[in-house]
Amino acid sequence: MLRRVALGFRDWLQHRHLAWHLSALAMGVCASALWLGWQTDDHIHRAALTRQPQFEELARSPAELFTFFRGDEQANRRAVALGHQPWWADEGLRLAFFRPVAGLTHWLDYRLWPLSPWLMHLHSLVWFGAAVAAAAFLYRRMFPSAGVAGLAALLFAVDDAHGMPAVWLANRNATLGAFFGLLALIAHDRWRRDGRRTGAVLAPLALLLGLLSNEGVVACGGYLAAYALFLDRGTRLGRLRSLAPCAVIVAVWWLAYKAGGYGAAGSGVYIDPGSSPGPFVRAVVARAPLLLCGQWAFASDLHLLMSPQVARVMWLAAWGLLAVLAAALFPLVRRDSVARFWTVGMLLAVLPACATFPSDRLLFFVGVGGMGLLAQFVAAVLGRADWLPARAGWRLPARALCAVLLFVHLVAAPLALTQAAGTVRVFGDVLARAAGSLPSDPAVRSQTVVIVNTPTYFVSLFGPLIQALNGKPFPAHTLVLGSGVTPIEVRRIDEHTLVVRPEGCFLAAPGSLRPGDGSDPPAFDVRYMLPLFDRLFRGDRPMKVGQRIELMGAIVEITAITEDGRPAEAAFRFATALEDPSLRWLQWENGVYAPFVLPAVGEGLRLPAVTVPLREKRD
């Protein structure tokens, strides 16, 4: 019986229509996304493309859908004053990504089925299925064995690293980029291997469409370079010339991208490699091992939930795992040019992903090489290839490693992929509950909601937007005083002024603060991740004592800083008395916003460390 199953599985991996089977399989595994609805950044896209009159400043053309902040200091100061950015945001903040192809697909959604998020998710799943099919066709071209190609395609199709791009509407750009990037590699191979000159045109065209969907498609350049090094035929000069069409496309795109003012600056989450080469190199050392291990073994996102001590252990474990993999894969890579192609392409593809915090959703192109290499390794070890080292000290551990990797990628990964929509929903539910707890009576339309403390500014940012999209009244302005996971001290100086001092400081580094009040930090806690969202709006540019920031109806003054220039304390002086009915005071309490009772003049209070329930409590 088992033999028949194994033979049937082998025959299926060699089926000529396997690409379409795997496409359907991948879409089916992620089908729970159809009921996910709009989550986090989807609300911004919805407001931008439906042109909500309450949020005219969010209106965007499809080409500018992923342009959040342009780096214009005057515009950023106005956004801070209106409460659309936190008061600590860098005046030069730029988060602008040129993704017109991805934006066009969202524009079509809101023209064809604006009230049907399930159809939007189906649209995303179709692109995901297309990317899986493209990967299967690429593997079939690269491997002489249909069985090895089929195994690589299966591993790619059920890779849980693809979950978030497949199920989260706002991350569709990654799936689009993967599809077009894979088409570029297929077309380039058809040109160089089969002599199909149309490939010389189609490859750069597909690459351009990929770059206009997602910047991470520059990772294709690593595979093109590896192809010229290890797979292409002809003279060295001829192979170099074969890269010219795609190299020109990348160069023109990059120059236009920078000339248009796109990119990232002033953020503690994104690094622009061109303008900040030093920090980027340090980021590669810190992030590349985690990303590579996210592809081969355990999710790179886990480090966001760890204490600093445990995160360091994870980083060291990542290096150890990579050393084991290198030792196991070395005989294959030394002998086989296709394996060298996958290896070098994979290693080069990880570099663009290091421009932001490690997350498995960045691993589409890393996975192309990783799954090809894994399929070759499994086929060689389980097939007992005669060129492998004969000593038992290598073969027995290699077989054990194969068993572990197959379990991870063919059992654990598909199960995790089925849960991708639920994972995205968890944080979306946090935002929805917080938004639902904001005042929604008609009077709030003329009031400023003042939030004294919140787990992260990111939570309060979406509140009024979600209220408006749900047809509820929302405040004229929202002002967040304190943001962070630790307790906050609040002192009232006079009728108009509050002083806020978090235990630690504002803009804490992710994982650097102890969630809760215990003397020993827990090894894992979701609150370790939350400071990352506050640092989205400001990097390491220091602030100064006495620095003032003007808000709508209030002025913030920095009254104390840390040694590295982060605010330690801030005074908020309002134009009106704090009890004025134009102000509505709130604080964070067990996952929602609750009324805040102002202290008397000369008195203070201490708000406890925040809690962030990930599941709604039910009676």
Instruction: Encode pLDDT of 489-540 as tens digits.
Output: 999 999 999 999 998 789 887 776 655 445 577 888 888 888 889 999 998 8
Contact 51, 44 (CB under 8 A): no
Same domain, 412 and 440: no
pTM for the predicted model, two decimal places: 0.94
Query: Does any domain span residue 612?
Result: no
Better pLDDT: 556 or 486: 556
Domain count, the chain: 2
Same domain, 579 and 509: yes
Q: How far is CA 402 from CA 136, 368, 592, in A?
A: 21, 18, 47
Model confidence over 94-112: pLDDT tens digits? 999 999 999 999 999 999 9
Same domain, 390 and 467: no
Query: Does any domain span residue 504?
Result: yes
Arithmetic mean of pLDDT, 401-419: 95
Mean pLDDT score across all residues of the chain: 92
Same domain, 242 and 321: yes
Query: Does any domain span residue 615?
Result: no
Residue 573: give the domain boundaries.
434-607
Residue 242 has a pLDDT of 94
Query: Does any domain span residue 71?
Result: yes
Residue 59 has pLDDT above 80, yes or no: no
Model confidence over 527-573: pLDDT tens digits? 888 888 999 999 889 999 999 999 989 999 999 999 989 999 999 99
Burial 580-602 (b: 16+ CB within 10 A, else e): eeebbbbbbbebbbeebebeeee
Model confidence over 428-439: pLDDT tens digits? 999 999 999 999
Same domain, 106 and 250: yes
Query: Does any domain span residue 6?
Result: no
Query: Does any domain span residue 507?
Result: yes
Same domain, 148 and 112: yes
Same domain, 233 and 287: yes
Query: Does any domain span residue 427?
Result: no
Same domain, 324 and 354: yes
Q: Name the E strands within 349-508.
A: 448-454, 477-483, 488-492, 497-502
Same domain, 72 and 102: yes
Same domain, 521 and 588: yes
Same domain, 116 and 209: yes
Contact 448, 580 (CB under 8 A): no
Query: Does any domain span residue 373?
Result: yes
Last residue of a domain, one of 385, 418, 451: 418
Last residue of a domain, one of 358, 393, 418: 418
Is the four-CA dihedral 367, 368, 370, 374 of positive or negative sign?
A: positive
Same domain, 587 and 457: yes
